[in-house]
Amino acid sequence: MRQDHGSKAEDKDDPIKEESSSLLETLIDKLNMVFVNAMFLILLQHVFLTSGLAVVVGHHHPPRHSLALDKDALLRFKSGITEDPFATLSNWNDSTHVCRFNGVRCDRHSHRVSQLILNESQLVGLLSPFLSNLTGLRVLWIVNSHLFGTIPHEFSSLRHLKSLRLDGNKLHGPIPNSLSHLPNLNTLLLLNNNFTGRLSPAFFSNCSSSLQILDVSGNSIFGDIPVEIGNCISLWSLNLYNNQFTGVLPHSLTNISSLLNLDVEYNHFSGELPTEIIGSLPSLIYLHLSFNKMKSHNGNTDLSPFFDAVRNCTGLEELEMAGMGFGGTLPASIGQLLGANLTVMLLQDNKIFGSIPPSISNFSKLRTLNLSSNLMTGTISDEMRVLPRLEQLFLSHNRFSGPIPEVLGKFPSLGLLDLSHNNFYGEIPKSLGNLTRLNYLFLNNNQLSGTIPSKLGRCTELHKIDLSYNRLTGKIPTDISGLSEIRIFINFSNNQLEGPLPDELSKLEDVQEMDFSSNKLNGSIFPLISSCIAVRLINFSNNSLEGKLPDSLGDLKNLEIFDVSQNKLSGMIPQSLNKSHVLTYLNLSFNNFEGMIPLGGVFSTLTNESFLRNPHLCGKIAGIRPCPREKHLLRWFIFSSTLISSKRQEVVRRKPRAPELIHNFPRITYRELLEATAGFDDRRLVGSGSYGRVYMGVLSDGTAVAVKVLHVQSGNSTKSFNRECQVLKRIRHRNLIRIITACSLPDFKALVLPYMANGSLDSCLYPHSGTSLGSGSSDLSLLQRVNICSDIAEGMAYLHHHSPVRVIHCDLKPSNVLLNDDMTALVSDFGIARLVMTAAGGNAAAIENLGNSTANMLAGSIGYIAPEYGFGLNTSTKGDVYSFGILVLEMVTRKRPTDDMFVGGLSLHKWVKSHYHGRVEKVVDSSLLRAAKDQSPEVKKMWEVATGELIELGLLCTQESPSTRPTMLDAADDLDRLKRYLFGDTTATFASSLGISSSTLGDD
């Protein structure tokens, strides 16, 4: 739970009220100035007279720091802004009075600019040091824009500044010590930037009487918290969450007795829970320690000392200590220790054991209680009925048992109830139907029995309901129509439900997923299923459904997955299914369908595995008997069908079995992958495509992994899985993704790979690509881009020249390059790679058919495919070189080869080449230009050399004729020289090392 408590009070229209004594202060200042000037003149006259010099003292006008100078400073700031999408600064010009500038306010007494507030303006540009000339400034807020650079040390001259907010920008570097020289600063919010380095002790040297709010969360600051933070005795909000802090919380925090908010979540703090510190902070309202590495007392077994210390925090409202791994039981007196003001308690993902103490009923204001993923046992106490404000109750993934108490139906405000993955038994309480505000109900993976209460239909605001993996019997109640607000999923699978699918399911117009698989349902599929217009997944498999599939299935425009396998369905497959543009998974196996399989649409990509054990089907899919009128044209398919049938003669209705694993790799089961990914939860989804989906998972030993689950019903995906296994088990290189293991079942295939926290190169290059191809900007520096290109070249050179079996990747592009924790690039996704043998002369181009051939698959992605492939030439290493060249040009220009601008014969290669001997800056990514703008001449020279060499390398690699392109060894050597040059090796040479000069870049 994330709340920026420190900024609640600052979001008012007038962030600083004029002090009641401002008029008196102004008068005193003027009198002081008169006195100082008079004394200066007397002293000056005395010096001249005693020197024998004559001086005429006239009327003196000291330099006045006026609004004119303030206006000049603001216009200079504006000149550094390169993008102003909302025209926020449109009236900042010479003809407008500075006090009427958008976002500017002036002080009526000092006649100076006192406030500059430009929130949510999306400005792009440098945080200019000229703002330091606004020496009368009290408030400086530029929030949620795209300012870059460091905080200028000149800001130390803003002596009157009280509130500085630069949160939500792209500022970098360390937080400067110069900010400690601002004597009146009480609010400093720098969250969600790119600040690095350590917090300097000097930063807290002068904060004793001023600083009240400090928020540097959402950065990459590391190291210990300086003990000098204890000097900030007026601090009442400290937000450090989501950084890289280490060590223990400093004991000096005990000096800050006024602290209301302490948030250090998502760091690497260690040691025992800070009992003494918390006990010395009686004013705490918000305490957030989650996702650190702290342990409980007495060898991580005793929570009593900590909760005894929290007793002193009588006003505590939020206690968040999730994902820390501490153990112990909740004290029986916890209700008295935490007080009556508690509204949020998050203790999930720990090792807490024992039962829920009945005294928890004292939390009369509690809204959220999360104890999921612990080791807790026992039952749910009836005392919990006196939690009238409870809105969310998470108890999943524990060892609770017994019946679900009726008392849970007496929580009038409950919106989420998650009791999944426990050992609850007995019937679902009818009282749950009284929860009229319930949005999410998860009772899955228990031992519940009996029927589904019809009263659940009263929960008219449900968005998700999951009752799967229980022992429920009876019919699906017709009152299900009351759940018409279900927007996400309804899952009753893996129970013992019987009877027909009720027609009332057609009223679930907004449901996205509908799973009733593995029950005993019979009857037909309701004809009005097409009314479920939002549905993406339908799984009715492993039941006893009969009759025909409704012809209206093709009207479900959002349907991606449709599984009715292992039923008793018959008749023709609806022709309308080929109209769906998003359907990628279709399983009709083990039924009694007949006639010809439709053509086109999804049917053009399916294999016979989507139609197993339907003996009366025919069609043009390998392994399926041809229809009679086509028999004379498809003899080869008859032979193929016979061959495949002989291999499958032992196939029966599918049951789970042990997975097939790559030899010598660790064994892993489907269940382990299910647990590692929280049931393949969409919240763990990190990528998807035509091949399937990739989930982030954590294995039982704590290893973070990426689980790539393929759509096995797609012929291409099955081949892709086999091919990727063939490649990954043969290659080993620091710049190539490695395989941990793989899991292969008849209807489930997955690769388990290391998890890359920095995602793909595509996501780093286009962090805002969800809005448009050219939106946003990239934080990748030029040096990072050179290093990444070099890493990719090294990995590809290994594949082409040093691998035990030569490999042609065939699909090199930014989305298939992953970045690990230190931004090292690893080439991934070998689903359509070719394993080759080196032919005479050293040209690796002869395809070796290992496993399922991919020889007929498209060799690459649009925009990255070598032009010779379009003329039918075989794949070769020079095709990978072309793809690499496009990637290099993309890294420099930040333009996809499929950008809308490339039409009418214009391509990325031609566009860059047209500017190569002219103004190359016109094609270079604007963020790289901005980064070089204010650098020294030496740095600019290096920048020009690096961009020029990358562009030349990209153009050389993307020449139309394969024979004129360099090898990946050449490219890797060239980039290695460029890296050495950027690190100071002035003897390094570049494109000449390829044996190809820039003069060869003639017209293609």
DSSP category for residue 810: S
pLDDT digits (tens, 9 = 90+) for 175-192: 998 898 899 999 999 999
Two tokens at 62?
């000291």
Specify if 625 maps to a domain: no
Instruction: Tell me the pLDDT tens digit for each residue of 479-490.
Output: 876 776 787 889
pLDDT of amino acid 893: 92
Dump the DSSP string for 84-109. Answer: -TT-TTTT-STTS-GGGSTTEEEETT
pLDDT band at 170 (very low <50, low <70, confident <90, very high): very high
What is the rounded end-to-end Cα distance, in angstroms, of the chain?
A: 57
Between 358-362, 760-764, 987-991, the lowest mean confidence (pLDDT) is in 987-991
- The CATH number that applies at residue 962 is 1.10.510.10
**Spatial distance between the Cα atoms of 16 and 7, rounded to a whole number of angstroms:** 14
Residue 910 assigned as binding residue: no
* Domain end marker among 755, 775, 806: 755
Three-state SS for 389? coil
CA 278, CA 303: separation in Å to the nearest integer?
14
How far is residue 12 CA from its own chain's centroid? 31
* pLDDT value at 885 more than 50: yes
Judge if 805 and 688 occupy the same domain.
Answer: no
Q: Closest by alpha carbon to 345, among 364, 367, 324?
A: 367
> For residue 644, is pLDDT > 80?
no
pLDDT at residue 582, as a whole number: 85
For residue 21, pLDDT beyond 60: no
Q: Region 697-718: what's the mean pLDDT?
A: 77
In a domain, 645, yes or no: no
pLDDT at 50 over 60: no
* Same domain membership, residue 771 and residue 704: no
CATH number at residue 732: 3.30.200.20
pLDDT of residue 714: 56
* Domain end position, chosen among 36, 58, 80: 58
Q: Is the pLDDT of residue 316 over 80?
A: yes
> CB-based contacts of 749: which residues, under 8 Å, 6+ apart?
709, 710, 712, 717, 718, 721, 742, 743
Task: Provide the percentage of residues in the chain whose pLDDT is more than 70.
Answer: 82
How far apart CA 468 and CA 1002 sit, in angstroms, is: 65
Q: Tell whether the model's pLDDT for residue 368 goes beyond 80.
A: yes
| Per-residue confidence (pLDDT) for residue 770, from 0 to 100 | 42
- Same domain? For 709 and 835 the reply is no
Backbone angle region of 546, left / alpha / beta, with phi > 0 → left and psi within -120 to 50 → alpha:
beta
> Which residue is catalytic, options 466, 811, 925, 974?
811
Give pLDDT, residue 480.
76
Tell me: do 877 and 988 sit in the same domain. yes
Cα distances (Å, whole numbers) of residue 23 to 64, 412, 452, 994: 20, 55, 73, 75
Where helices occur in 604-750 by DSSP H, the ranges are 635-647, 670-676, 715-728
Amino acid at 968: M
Is residue 511 assigned to a domain?
A: no
Helix (H) or strand (E) run with residue 394 in it: strand 392-394
- Per-residue pLDDT band at 712 (split at 50, 70, 90): low
pLDDT at 48: 33
Whether 815 and 687 map to the same domain: the answer is: no
Q: Are both 678 and 816 inside the same structural domain?
A: no
* Residue 424 belongs to a domain: no
* In a shared domain, residues 726 and 779: no
| 326 in a structural domain | no
- Domain assignment present for 670: yes
Per-residue model confidence (pLDDT) at position 53: 32
Residue 769 has pLDDT above 60, yes or no: no
Residues 503-539 pLDDT 10s: 888 888 889 899 999 999 999 998 889 889 889 899 9
**262's tokens:** 């302490």
In angstroms, the Cα distances linking 827 to 412, 451, 687, 761, 787 are 53, 52, 16, 10, 14
Q: Give the Cα separation of 593 and 614 in Å (integer).
A: 6
> Residue 836 — very low, low, confident or very high, per pLDDT cuts 50/70/90?
confident
Which of the four pLDDT bands, split at 50, 70 and 90, describes residue 631?
very low
pLDDT at 59 over 60: no
- Do 816 and 789 lie in one domain? The reply is yes
355 inside domain: no
Kindly write down the DSSP assignment for every residue of 51-93, as one continuous string: TT--------------HHHHHHHHHHHHHTEEE-TT-TTTT-S
> Residue 949's Cα: distance from chain center in Å?
33
Distance separating alpha carbons of residues 571 and 585, to the nearest angstrom: 20
What pTM was estimated for this model as a whole? Answer: 0.61
pLDDT at 231 over 70: yes
* Per-residue pLDDT, 65: 55
Question: Regarding predicted confidence, which is higher, 891 or 664?
Answer: 891
Computed over every residue of the chain, the mean pLDDT equals 82
Structure tokens at 390: 């409870």
Q: Write the DSSP string, 483-529.
A: GTT--SEEE--SS--EEEPPGGGGG-TT-SEEE--SSEEESPPPGGG
pLDDT in tens, 899-944: 888 877 789 998 898 887 666 778 888 888 877 776 777 778 888 8
Q: Is there a single domain that holds both residue 741 and residue 831?
A: no
pLDDT at 785: 94
The whole-number average pLDDT for the span 31-38 is 38
* Low-confidence winner among 404-413, 631-640, 657-666, 727-736 (lowest mean pLDDT): 631-640
Q: Which of 19-33, 607-621, 700-714 has the lowest mean pLDDT?
A: 19-33
Q: Is residue 915 part of a domain?
A: yes
Q: Give the pLDDT score at 768.
A: 54
DSSP-based three-state secondary structure for 740: coil
What total of structural domains would you count in the chain?
3
Stretch 664-680: mean pLDDT, rounded? 79
Q: Is the pLDDT of residue 344 over 60?
A: yes
> Residues 767, 746: one domain?
no
- The yes-or-no answer on residue 682 being catalytic is no
> What pLDDT, on a 0 to 100 scale, did the predictor assign at position 997?
40
The gap from C-alpha 361 to its chain's centroid, in whole angstroms, comes to: 37
pLDDT at 544: 96
288 vs 937 pLDDT, higher one: 288
Q: Which domain holds residue 54?
A: 22-58
**Which of the listed residues 703, 730, 755 is the one where a domain comes to its end?**
755
Instruction: List % helix, strand, coil for the chain (3-state, nearest 5).
Output: 30, 20, 50
Do 793 and 940 lie in one domain? The reply is yes
970 and 944 inside one domain: yes
What is d(CA 207, CA 232) in angstroms, rounded to the nearest whole number?
5
